[in-house]
Amino acid sequence: MVVRIFGLSVVVTIVSLIIAFLYGGVEALILTAILGVFEISLSFDNAVINATILRRMSEFWQKIFLTIGILIAVFGMRLVFPLVIVWLASGLNPVDALDLALNPPPNDAAYFANGDPSYETIITDAHPQIAAFGGMFLLMLFLGFVFEQKELTWLTWIERPLEKIGKLEMLEVVIAITLLVLTASYIAAPDEQSTVMIAGALGMITYILVNGLGEYFNVETEEDDEAAEPGTDAAEKSAAEKPAEKSNGRTGPSDLAKATGKAGFFLFLYLEVLDASFSFDGVIGAFAITADPIIIALGLGLIGAMFVRSLTVYLVRKGTLSEYVYLEHGAHWAIGALAFILLYSIGTHVPEIITGLIGVTLIIAALISSIIRRNRLAARGEVEKVEV
């Protein structure tokens, strides 16, 4: 199974490194390899979160995410997204933006003779807006998890109190808005405060809208599922309300199938926005290594994104999240750390190695806790009863 799941990623890695060598020689090959390792180390928590959501989706939508979704992750976020930023920020047309990326001035930190900034400068200058959007989206996701009532907790000493105060309606929104205002007021530069507020608000709106629609259609699915069970009151009521469908004998698409499709679609959108938010720090951090969009696309996109896909599939197929029950908790705490780092980085640069190490440390700690708990239950002869 391991070979089947990771085999394609290994092949893509080899091909990407060959392309990098043909494109820019040994230097390009080394930079591509560094970016691939960089992206994988930053994105392990992303794979865990993807797996927790992916296992709730139908097989059809899982395949959609693992094919079309990966194409969006590779070409959309790692190649097109930086070009769009340059296009919008500089006023250049898409062709000129690509030419600027592929043919930078001799000194990439310098300005053109007409006063236009370089490709790398434009991307770096856009960091406050990008970090505010991604930071608020991830913060909402983190707060929603820690305030949710859970049967199993990892850091019980802090998670249980957070669950209690989380009973207050809309508390996560209040906290998120408060942190956004504080970030714009005390961390962002004076001339960036309004753009940080707008970008952060859009991040919150995106999370509330996509997550809310996903939950809404998921509830519809569950209600239809209950209604479809023979012998239940809901089923009898449903049959009574739809005599025409029952009498004409047609067996077209059921409400359950339609609801599942809608729920799967919005979970897909949710995963894509989530993956984009995780990618922001990697894309921005990549410019500390190289400003060449081709090398970034090869390292972050093809190598990094493919291994994140493989890790996600492995976690789902092996049932790892059910076996190591604290992994999901560790991933969400890593998300919280990343959200705060993104907001803080609006005013102060945070080395990407710190971001990656914090996430990996939390994941490893959760994994070790899961193993200790599993061994303790096995020693007692108990069976895991908790659904996660």
What pLDDT, in 10s, does the model give residues 277-316?
A: 777 666 766 766 776 778 888 888 788 878 888 888 888 8
**What is the H or E stretch that residue 59 is in?**
helix 59-64
| Domain enclosing residue 133, as ranges | 2-380
Per-residue pLDDT band at 115 (split at 50, 70, 90): low
Residue 385 domain flag: no
Residue 121 domain flag: yes
Per-residue pLDDT band at 253 (split at 50, 70, 90): very low
Higher pLDDT, 254 or 99: 99
Domains in the chain, number: 1
Query: What is residue 9's predicted lDDT score, i.e. its pLDDT?
Result: 87
Identify the weakest region by mean pLDDT among 26-40, 135-149, 155-169, 363-377: 26-40
pLDDT at 194 over 90: yes
Each residue of 199-240: pLDDT tens digit? 999 989 988 887 777 666 665 555 555 555 555 454 444 444
Distance CA 349, CA 355 (A): 11
What 8-state DSSP symbol labels residue 288? T
Amino acid in the structure at residue 23: Y
Neighbours of 247 (CB within 10 A): 8
Q: Alpha helices of 70-126 — where are they, by DSSP H?
A: 70-71, 81-90, 94-102, 119-125
Higher pLDDT, 242 or 106: 106
The C-alpha R_g of the chain, in whole angstroms, comes to: 23
pLDDT at 246 over 90: no
Give this prediction's pTM.
0.73
Amino acid in the structure at residue 317: R
Find tokens 């640069």 and name the residue.
Answer: 349
Per-residue pLDDT band at 177 (split at 50, 70, 90): very high
Residue 387 domain flag: no
Residue 194 domain flag: yes
Find tokens 């921005």 and name the residue.
Answer: 284
Residue 388 domain flag: no
User: What proportion of the chain, given as a percentage, has pLDDT over 90?
Assistant: 15
pLDDT at 126 over 70: yes
Q: Is 360 exposed, middle or buried (0-12, 13-18, 19+ CB in 10 A)?
A: middle
Residue 303 domain flag: yes
Beta-strand (E) ranges in 255-362? none
Neighbours of 162 (CB within 10 A): 16
Distance of alpha carbon 240 from the chain centroid: 44
Per-residue pLDDT band at 333 (split at 50, 70, 90): very high
Q: Is 169 exposed, middle or buried (0-12, 13-18, 19+ CB in 10 A)?
A: exposed
Query: What is residue 18's predicted lDDT score, i.e. its pLDDT?
Result: 94
Residue 236 domain flag: yes
Please work out, in degrees rounded to the nearest 5, the angle formed at the alpha carbon of residue 311 by the alpha carbons of 371 and 36.
Answer: 120
pLDDT at 261 over 70: no
Higher pLDDT, 84 or 68: 68
Residue 329 domain flag: yes
Mean pLDDT, range 168-190, rounded to an integer: 92
**HEC secondary structure over 203-257:** HHHHHHHHHHHHHHHHHHHHHHHHHHCCCCHHHHHHHHHCHHHHHHCCCCCCHHH
SS3 335: helix
Higher pLDDT, 91 or 149: 149
